[in-house]
Structure 1
Amino acid sequence: MSHNRRRRLVAPVALAACATLALGATPAAATGQPDGPALAKQLVKKVGVDGINRHLVAFQRFADTNNGTRAASTEGHKKSAEYIATKLAAAGYDVTRQEFPFTYSETLAEKLAVAGQAVPVIAMEYTKSTPVGGVTAPLAVVPVTAATGCAAADYGDVTGKIALIKRGGCSFAQKQQAAAAAGATGAIVYNNEDGALNGTLGSPADAKIPTGGITQAAGEALAKQGGASVTLELRAFQEARTSYNVIAETKTGRKDNVVMLGAHLDSVPAGPGINDNGTGSATLLETALQLGSKPKVNNAVRFGFWSAEEFGLVGSKYYVRSLGFEQQLDLALYLNFDMIGSPNAGYFAYDGDNSDNVGAGPGPYGSAQIEKTFVDYLGSKGVQVEGTDFTGRSDYGEFIANGIPAGGLDTGAEGLKTAAQAAKWGGKAGVAYDPCYHQACDNLGNIDRVALDRNADGVAWALGVYATSTETVNGVAPGKAVKAKAQRAAERGAQRHSLAAPSGNMDPHHTAA
């Protein structure tokens, strides 16, 4: 998952629990499936966690034999991409490798000391580097407003100082640009919610001064120490490189009403990225293999395995921008899956209708209907789903920017699980959904396979629903043959229901939920 990220060359502090932490959500009795097309029900039965896990084992081995990473442009990523591409080509899919340029970045140093006391800090992606040893300057606390630090006028005279800025109101890039315009020599942004703050400045061209992120608690403590001496060292290695996306499409189905699913394949340089985002990529691969390249569908299905997501969503942006307007119109919708097996899992669907009234607002028309598909399906399995905002942190960003309806699932990253969520889903309150987020310990031991299985079923269900019909999303009705087949299946189901009383609601795909 991009935007909030951790990248290191030096080994991070190991969390001993990461190797063994595998907290499942609280078991819930299966309550049957909602009404849906036959394809959706078949895919749910076919797509299983064992097949997905086999792909995750492959990703782990590609990382282990290639410097512990699957970052874009590395051999670990190339091996992962070719593993996917060759399997899908062998299954009969039309497969494309789409190459693109990007700026590779690895953090070399990230240190912050205030009045001699160390404060954990995370270098923002594409930050300008300080000299070795850092810079020392007075701390300038920027007054908190609705858009703190978004304009140079917010800072006053901060010439030669390091600005402390609260998150919110505008992008990190805009904040550090305003601070630089006001004369600051560095910027520290503190979170506006619990948890670490990892961020990106968007691109090397947008970076003006060394910029790092710290927690809300650390920021509020530092806000009381205006004028204190601060030493900030943030250094990163950057280099122009190329990588590539893998795109695969079914041979059957309408090509002017394509259902697209995507997940980023690359990890951060610091680790193998098995949860982030091996889980999403492995699930899409297994779902594609179980669907087959010539399914009986109304709409063609396209899969995108993105690269360089961890460097600013580069691969997915490049893909969408490479499409002409008519080609974009051919996309009925986009479904995104980024981290769906977090070890302290939450259950989240993108808030397409903005019913939570948080942050960015609703997605393009059709996004609300996509959200409902996921919420209803997982709800039918006894899993209560919460909304999550379209923050721009993952690969849906360029799709919704171009008016393409989008949705998807995730299980959480560095945010902390609340007590209410722990009571609802199981796991540990006050602990990150993924304590190994963007670290070397994001390995095969960092997965909740119960959550992964449930979300994989959600992926399979949504694919089956929309490959059959996107009428609820964009008004495009299924063809006559598909509609007639669905009607016959519904009539047979009604007849069976009338002949026998139900014997229970257990989903045959699971012996326990």
Structure 2
Amino acid sequence: MAGRRTSALAGTLVALVVGTSALLAPPASAHDRGGHRLDPDRFAQQVTTRGVWRHLQELQRIADRHDGNRAALTDGYEASARYVERTLQRAGYRTHRDPFTFGLEVVDAASLTLEPGGTYEVDQMQYAPNSPDGGVRARAAVPVDPTGCTPEAWGDVATVGAIAVVSRGSCPFAQKAVTAQAAGAVGLVVYNNVEEMLFGTLGEEGLVQIPVAGMGMADGLAVVAAVTEGDVMLTLDTRFHEEERTSFNVLAETRTGRDDNVVMLGAHLDGVEEGPGINDNGSGSAVLLEVAVQLAKQKKHHNTVRFAWWGAEELGLIGSTAYVDELATKPGELDRIATYLNFDMVGSPNYVVGVYDADESTYPAPVDVPEGSAQTEAVLTGYFDGIGQPWVDTEFSGRSDYQAFIVNGVPASGLFTGADDIKTDAEAALFGGTAGIRHDPNYHTADDDLSNVSRAAIGIMAPAVAYATASLAQDTSAINGVKGPGKPGHHGPGKPGKRHGHHPAGEHRTLERAS
């Protein structure tokens, strides 16, 4: 799951140039539209933890053979894609690589040097300008109110010509930066309020002309402690340059199903450079792969099912955004997609059973939710209710590959077992595990390996994905009015072509926490 902006190799998406090749999976024409009914409950039993685990083991082996990771633009990602392709081809699919080209920030400098003292790692905030070569050198200034959100927070502290050091909290990073610059600061460092590096965003270009960076809580407090003991000098050096890179998604779709009503499912295949990425997102990729393998054994179903393994998600949802942006330029192509289901992290060790809150019954969404999304969510929650499995809403926040679909009016939902959020007492009562720690304590680390995946979570989520796939492969009438076999009529009020809540591609694409 995307949740940070930079890595050792590269950072945020800067500009996106969609690949010129066809974006669709195998040509969607003349599919068999036979009316044999695929039974969702029976199909759910065919997608087993054992089957998913075989794929996870192979993804772990791939990471082990390729510098310990499967990140975008690496040999580990290429090997992961080849494994998915070979497995699909053996099952009878034709696979398609969907290339995309994008601009990438490559980090040249990311440090804060304390004199006297040492050098600390920082992360340049998204939309913050580069420092000059060699950095900005100035004395440190710490506000009376550590968060530094308002002019009053600085009191009588001398800020002109200083590098401001403030705590995360109370207001957006952009407000802290604008306040510091207005007070005369020549740089700003925001330290985290939890034990990890702070990866942040100013939200838009041009807000300030001073370098702005995030840093970890312990390092930030060490700098603050040094300032309280006397005047210290800081050098803030944060610089990047842009490079054009190319990666790809892997697509496949069933040979059976009506071509004008496509059910699409996706999971990102890449991980972060820090580790193997077996929960994030080998888990979603492996479940999706096993569902595809088992679905290929079904001779007939009513709707086409299209599968996508997205590339460069961890660099900013790049592959899925490129795909949807390209389809948006082709009249009618997005309207063929009845709904999209996303599976990103479905094996977290301290898991919850989370369903994207498309009906906004718990969390307001940051975009207008397309009509049909609540009905897509209901397929998943209905399955869980039917088997007596507790579940909770999880934010429809745009932190994964459904983002481009919903901003372009395609209904969506999906499943999630948790990332860096802290498990509550109520969640522990429902699902077991440990309250007070993260759903995935090894999120985006070298320890996100096979031992980091919960068999119990996979055993709950894999059948749910299978059930939803089979159910929607037969009938999407609740979502878009397209009825399944043996039902009168084919189109209802929500027939393809009548999207609601459409937004221009690229809107609402900020992923990072802004405060």
With normalisation by structure 1, the TM-score equals: 0.74
Aligned to 1:313: 317
Alignment of 1:26-105 (within 5 A): 38-104=38-104
The 1:404/1:477 distance shift into structure 2, 3 A limit, reads same
Shift of 1:267: 0.8
Q: CA deviation at 1:93?
A: 1.8
Q: 1:426 to 1:320 in 2, by over 3 A?
A: same
Once the two structures are TM-superposed, the CA of residue 363 in structure 1 deviates from its matched residue by 2.1
Q: Is the 8 A contact 1:102 1:308 kept in 2?
A: no
Structure 1 window deviating more from structure 2 (390-399 vs 136-145): it is 136-145
- The aligned amino acid for 2:362 is D
Partner of 2:163: 161
Decide whether aligned partners of structure 1 residues 355 and 297 sit closer, same or farther in structure 2, where only a CA change above 3 A counts. Answer: same
Could you tell me whether the CA contact under 8 Å between 1:352 and 1:371 is conserved in 2?
yes
Amino acid at match of 2:43: L
State the match for 1:252 in structure 2.
256
Identity %: 42
Q: Which of 363, 371, 385 is equivalent to 1:365?
A: 371
How far apart, CA to CA, are the structure 1 residues paired with 2:312 and 2:206? 17
Q: Measure the CA separation in 1 of the matches of 2:302 and 2:438.
A: 41
Partner of 2:276: 272
Unmatched segments (≥5 aa) in structure 2: 10-36, 151-157, 491-515
Q: Distance in 1 between matches of 2:185 and 2:469?
A: 50
Distance 1:219 1:362 in 2: 38
Q: Using the TM superposition, give the Cα deviation of residue 318 of structure 1 relative to its aligned residue in structure 2, in angstroms.
A: 0.4
Deviations 1:1-36 (A, max 9, x none): 013367348xxxxxxxxxxxxxxxxxxxxxxxxxxx
Note the 1:144-183 alignment, pairs <5 A: 161-162=163-164, 164=166, 166=168
Distance 2:63 2:355 in 1: 29
Residue type of the alignment partner of 2:251: I
For residues 285-315 of structure 1, what are the alpha-carbon distances to aligned partners after superposition, in whole Å with 9 as ceiling and x for unaligned?
A: 0100000076421110001100100111100
Verify: 1:281 aligned to 2:297, yes or no.
Answer: no
Residues 300-346 of structure 1: CA deviation (Å, up to 9, x unaligned): 00011001001111000000011124101111111011111111112
Change in Cα spacing, 1:259 to 1:169, as seen in structure 2 (3 Å) is farther
Aligned counterparts of 2:160 and 2:336: Cα–Cα separation in 1: 51
* Contact 1:114-1:229 at 8 Å conserved across structures: yes
By relative contact order (CA 8 Å, sep 6+), the higher-ranking structure is 1
Structure 2 residue corresponding to 1:403, chosen from 409, 412, 417: 409
CA distance in 2, matches of 1:352, 1:3: 20
Q: TM-score, normalised by structure 2?
A: 0.74
Structure 1: stretches of 5+ with no match in the other structure = 10-36, 150-155, 485-513
Tell me the amino acid that sits aligned with residue 475 of structure 1: G
133 and 386 in structure 1: CA distance in 2 versus 1, 3 angstrom threshold: same
Answer with 463-472 or 196-205: which moved more: 196-205
The secondary structure found in structure 2 opposite 1:363 is coil
On the 8 A contact 1:262/1:334 being kept in 2, the answer is: yes
Out of 303, 306, 311, the position equivalent to 2:307 is: 303
Q: SS where residue 445 of structure 1 aligns? A: helix
Of stretches 219-228 and 328-337 in structure 1, the one that deviates more from structure 2 is 219-228
Deviates more, 1:367-376 or 1:450-459: 367-376
How many residues end up aligned between the 2 structures? 448
The aligned residue for residue 351 of structure 1 is 357
Residues 110-161 of structure 1: per-residue CA shift (max 9 Å, x gap)? 666889699886665797666679855534669999xx79xxxxxx987653
Task: Say if 1:64 and 1:126 are closer, same or farther in 2 by CA, change over 3 A.
Answer: farther
**Alpha-carbon deviation of 1:233?**
5.8
